[in-house]
Amino acid sequence: MAAAGASGKTYSFKAVLLGEGCVGKTSLVLRYCENKFNDKHITTLQASFLNKKLNITGKRVNLAIWDTAGQERFHALGPIYYRDSNGAILVYDVTDEDSFQKVKNWVKELRKMLGNDICLCIVGNKIDLEKERHVSVEEAESYAESVGAKHYYTSAKLNKGIEELFLDLCKRMMETAQAEERMKGNGASQSTSNRRGVQIVDDEPQAAPAGGCCSSG
């Protein structure tokens, strides 16, 4: 997926948005891509798949953000969504203890299935509702550190922390991709294992490497 060769080429990343329904995943993405919140004039038809072109330190990055259905009944479909993704944004609502618990479950699952190839971001959304906070700062940050994820605070309503979140994620994914390239450069044969598409069998823990060479977006 993370296709990029020499420095002149475009990196193409896929990031999935995970989290319970109503934590504000959609608002987060809409704010990032359209800079709008609860606006009647949003021109986008949908906020489930968004593509953003970035230029980070002179390198072109194509970031595809995949929203996932957060309802509990769709939890089992997770692997189909996050297969081959380079990054995962795990969103919880700071006023909702349960949603943080869900994030913990996702982290466990992602690490089990994809190992350390995936960059994890844990995002506490809705910090504009500071008064009703139910997830403590220390707890969330220490947890994120313990699983090798980065923690962010955002507010889609006030447009806080969102730009930073995505920019940081892209930088980290670039680092991972570059590290992988170097690995490959050291004699490893060009991997072809990664060009398989999405398959319906979702119970095989196929740890696909996050780097590839096939798709230069």
Question: Minimum CB separation from another protein for residue 76, in Å?
Answer: 7
Asked if 73 interacts with another protein (CB under 8 A), we say yes
| 160 CB burial (10 A radius; 0-12, 13-18, 19+) | middle
The two structure tokens encoding residue 70: 């957060």
Question: Cα(53)–Cα(119) distance, rounded to whole angstroms?
Answer: 19
Residue located via tokens 């947890």: 143
Question: Minimum CB separation from another protein for residue 164, in Å?
Answer: 23
Asked if 71 interacts with another protein (CB under 8 A), we say yes
User: Which residue type is seen at 165?
Assistant: L
Asked if 126 interacts with another protein (CB under 8 A), we say no
Selected from 54, 56, 69, 129, the binder of another protein by CB under 8 A is 69
Stretch that binds another protein, among 69-77, 112-120, 123-131, 177-185 (CB under 8 A): 69-77
Asked if 35 interacts with another protein (CB under 8 A), we say no
Q: What is the CA radius of gyration of the chain?
A: 17
Selected from 11, 14, 92, 122, the binder of another protein by CB under 8 A is 14
Residues 6+ away with beta carbon under 8 Å from 216: 3, 4, 5, 9, 10, 12
Tell me whether strands 211-212 and 119-125 are parallel, antiparallel or unpaired. unpaired
Find the helix or strand (DSSP H, E) in which 101 lies. Answer: helix 97-114
In degrees, rounded to 5, the angle at the alpha carbon of residue 70 between the alpha carbons of residues 96 and 31 is: 80
Yes or no: say if 165 and 89 are a contact pair by the CB < 8 Å rule: yes
Selected from 35, 53, 76, 179, the binder of another protein by CB under 8 A is 76
Asked if 9 interacts with another protein (CB under 8 A), we say yes
The two structure tokens encoding residue 16: 């999935």
44-63 positions binding another protein, by CB under 8 A:
44-49, 51, 62
- Using CB under 8 A as the criterion, what x/- string covers residues 158-197 for binding another protein? ----------------------------------x--xxx
Selected from 35, 77, 108, 175, the binder of another protein by CB under 8 A is 77
**Interface residues toward another protein, by CB under 8 A:** 1, 3, 5-6, 8-10, 12, 14, 17, 21, 25-26, 30, 40, 42, 44-49, 51, 62, 64, 66-71, 73-74, 76-77, 80-81, 84, 192, 195-200, 202, 214-217
